Structure 1
C-alpha cells in the first residue's frame, strides 16, 4: 500500500506498532461487496466508481499518453488504497461518534480556505491533492472533513494523530464495526486500522471486462 495515501487521510500520522488481528470476508458470504463495515456494504461498483473518478481526473490532468502511463504505474495500487480510504473513513467516524466529536460544514470550509491560500488557489489545491494523494476534485471536501474529524478526535483524546492513543481509538472502532474485506482486496488489520495484503497467493484481483479500474 502506498503510504502517501495514509498521509492524505491523516496528515503526519504514524501507525502504532501492534500484533495484527485480521478479518476477511468471502465473496460468497457477501456477494458484490468489496467490504462490509458495521453491517453495511461497500459494493464493488461503488469502489470502481470512486477509482474511475480518480482515473478520469488524472487523465484530464495529464493528456500526454506516455506521462499518463507513468501515472498509472505510480498509482498501481489505487483500487486497494481507495478501498482502505473508504473503510477508514467509516472507522474514524465511529471513533469520533464514540468520543462525541462533531464536524460542521463551516469547519470543512475553513480548512479548505486555509489550504487554498497555502496552495495558491482552489485549482492548485485540487491538483496537489490529486497528484500527491490520489484524491479526485469532487472527493476533496470529503477528505477534508476526514482531516477535521481526525484532528478533533485527537484533541478530545488529548493526543495527536501520530500517537498510539489515537490509533487505539480507531482500533476499538474497527472492532465495534466488525470490518470485513473481500479477500481479493486483502484483509483488515484491526489493531492498526489498516488494510494489508491477503496471505493467499491464489486470490487474484479480477475486474469486470471493460472496467477502467486499475489496481
Structure 2
C-alpha cells in the first residue's frame, strides 16, 4: 500500500494536462483527478508538490544531497495525488461511520509523536523524509492518522490483524465506489477495490519534476 500512512498502511509535473472526463461525460479541464464530482486541479497538485520540494531543498546540506533526495522521491507527484485522493476517500468512509476528529485529538497525537521524535522540528523532519509531508501540512497528516484510527474503532476492527485490515479496506473500497473517482490518465487510474492509484501502462510518458525556481 502507499507508503504515506502508518495508520491506514496507510515535482510538479506537466505543463498542460489533457481533459479529464468525469461520470456523465462532462469535461474537467486542468484536473488531476475528480473525486465525488469535485476537482483536484493540476495547479493544486503542483502547489502541494512544490511545498515538499521547498522543504526538501531547505533541509538539504548541499546541492548534491538535494539531487539525491530528488532521485529518491522521483514519484512524488503521483504519490502526492494518491494521498490527496485517499484523504477524500477516508473522509467519506469516516462520515458514513459517524467518525469525527477534533483539534484536541490532533494536538494529543502530535504531542505524543513529538516526545518520541525529540521535539517539533525532529517530527517535522521525520514526516518530510519518511512520508513526503511538508511541515505546514503536518497537522493535516496527523488528522488523517487520527481519522483512520477512529474509523477502525468505529468499524470494530483490529488493524493488527488480517481480518481487521480487510474490513477496513472494504469500507474504503465502498467509499471509493461511491465517489466515482477518475484520474487524469497521465497519473494512472484508481483501483476501487484497493482504494489505490495504479500506474498507467505508458512507459513513454515521463514525470518531470520542476523544482522551485525553475518554473517560468
TM category (shorter chain) comes to 0.7 to 0.9
Using the alignment, how far apart are the partners of 1:123 and 1:78 within structure 2?
Answer: 22
1:72 aligns with 2:74: no
Indicate which of 163, 176, 181 corresponds to 2:183.
Answer: 181
Structure 1 counterpart of 2:200: 198
- CA distance in 1 between partners of 2:110 and 2:196 (Å): 26
User: Matched residue of 2:28: which SS?
Assistant: coil
- Give yes or no for the alignment of 1:114 onto 2:107: no
Describe the shift of the 1:113–1:212 C-alpha distance in structure 2 as closer, same or farther (beyond 3 A). Answer: farther
Return the alpha-carbon distance in structure 2 between the equivalents of residues 87 and 188 of structure 1.
9
Q: Tell me the CA shift for residue 202 of structure 1.
A: 5.4
Match of 2:41 in 1: 43
What is the rounded CA distance, in whole Å, between the counterparts of 2:34 and 2:95 in structure 1?
19
Q: Distance in 1 between matches of 2:117 and 2:209?
A: 36
Contiguous gaps of at least 5 residues in structure 1: 15-24
Find the aligned partners of 2:180 and 2:54 in 1 and give their Cα distance: 33
Q: Is the 8 A contact 1:101 1:152 kept in 2?
A: yes
Task: After superposition, give the CA deviation of every residue in 1:10-55 in whole Å (9 maximum; x if it has no partner).
Answer: 43727xxxxxxxxxx9536321000000000000000000000000
Aligned to 2:20: 27
Deviation at 1:201, TM superposition (A): 4.1
State the TM-score, normalized to the length of structure 2. Answer: 0.85
Question: Unaligned 5+ residue runs, structure 2?
Answer: 11-17, 22-26
Q: Secondary structure at the match of 1:42?
A: strand
From 1, 5, 8, give the equivalent of 1:9.
5
State the shift of 1:194 in Å. 0.3
Match of 2:166 in 1: 164
- Kindly state the Cα deviation for residue 7 of structure 1 after the two structures are TM-superposed: 3.8
Quickly say closer, same or farther: Cα 1:12–1:89, change in 2 above 3 A: closer
Match of 1:17 in 2: none
Query: What SS does the corresponding residue of 1:8 show, helix, strand or coil?
Result: coil
Query: Which whole-Å deviations, capped at 9, do the CAs of 1:141-170 have from their partners, x for residues lacking one?
Result: 000000000000001111134610000100
Question: What do the CA deviations read for 1:195-215 (whole angstroms, capped 9, x no partner)?
Answer: 01012445555688x9859xx
Deviations 1:69-104 (A, max 9, x none): 000000000000000000000000000000000000
Could you say if the C-alpha distance between residues 185 and 71 of structure 1 is closer, same or farther in structure 2, counting changes exceeding 3 Å? same
